Structure formats: C-alpha cells, structure tokens
C-alpha cells in the first residue's frame, strides 16, 4: 500500500517572508507532484509522503534561504558584470 500523504506546514521567520514567493517557484519546478502555498506564517505543502516530510521541510527552508542570498547579492553581481563589460 502507498505512503500516507500529508499536508505539511513549514514556518518561515518573518525576516525571510519576502523571499518565499521566489523560492516557491523553484520548489514547484523541482517537485511538480506537490502543491506549495505561501501562508502568513510560512509555507504549506500538500501531497507530501510521510517518509519524505523531513526532507521536504529542509528543502523549503533551504530554497527560501537561497532566494534571500540571490536577492541580496544581485546588485553586487550586476555591478561586477557592468565593471567587467564596460569599455
């Protein structure tokens, strides 16, 4: 018989909330069989196999952190590219 499917709530600190939407786009592409929804307190994931709950929770947290790093370093990368390609 198949694994039990869960609805998983992943709490995201308020300081990271602005990065949730970008992270969810990436997560949805990586896990098309799951449904990700942003909530006031974090992320809700539907369709998670019970055995995979801890791994999905880790991936959600990591994706939000990666989105934060991407957003905060984008101006630095743009300035570097402009400096290197300027003539």
Q: Confirm if 5 and 55 have CB atoms less than 8 A apart.
A: no
Query: Is residue 29 over pLDDT 90?
Result: yes
What pLDDT is recorded for position 76?
Answer: 92
What pLDDT is recorded for position 3?
Answer: 74
**Predicted confidence band of residue 2 (pLDDT cuts 50, 70, 90):** low
By CB atoms closer than 10 A (0-12, 13-18, 19+), residue 60 is buried
**Full residue range of the structural domain in which residue 40 is found:** 5-85
pLDDT above 90: percentage of residues in the chain: 90
What pLDDT is recorded for position 34?
Answer: 97
DSSP E strand boundaries for 50-85: none
- pLDDT mean over 29-42: 97
Q: What CATH number does residue 35 fall under?
A: 3.30.70
Number of domains in the chain: 1
- pLDDT mean over 40-66: 97
């Amino acid at each position: 018989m198949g694994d039990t499917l869960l609805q998983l709530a992943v709490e995201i600190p308020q300081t990271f909330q602005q990065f949730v939407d970008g992270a969810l786009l990436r997560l949805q592409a990586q896990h098309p069989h799951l449904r990700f929804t942003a909530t006031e307190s974090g992320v809700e994931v539907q369709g998670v196999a019970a055995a995979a709950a801890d791994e999905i929770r880790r991936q959600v947290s990591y994706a939000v952190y990666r989105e934060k790093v991407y957003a905060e370093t984008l101006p630095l990368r743009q300035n570097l590219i402009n400096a290197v390609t300027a003539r």
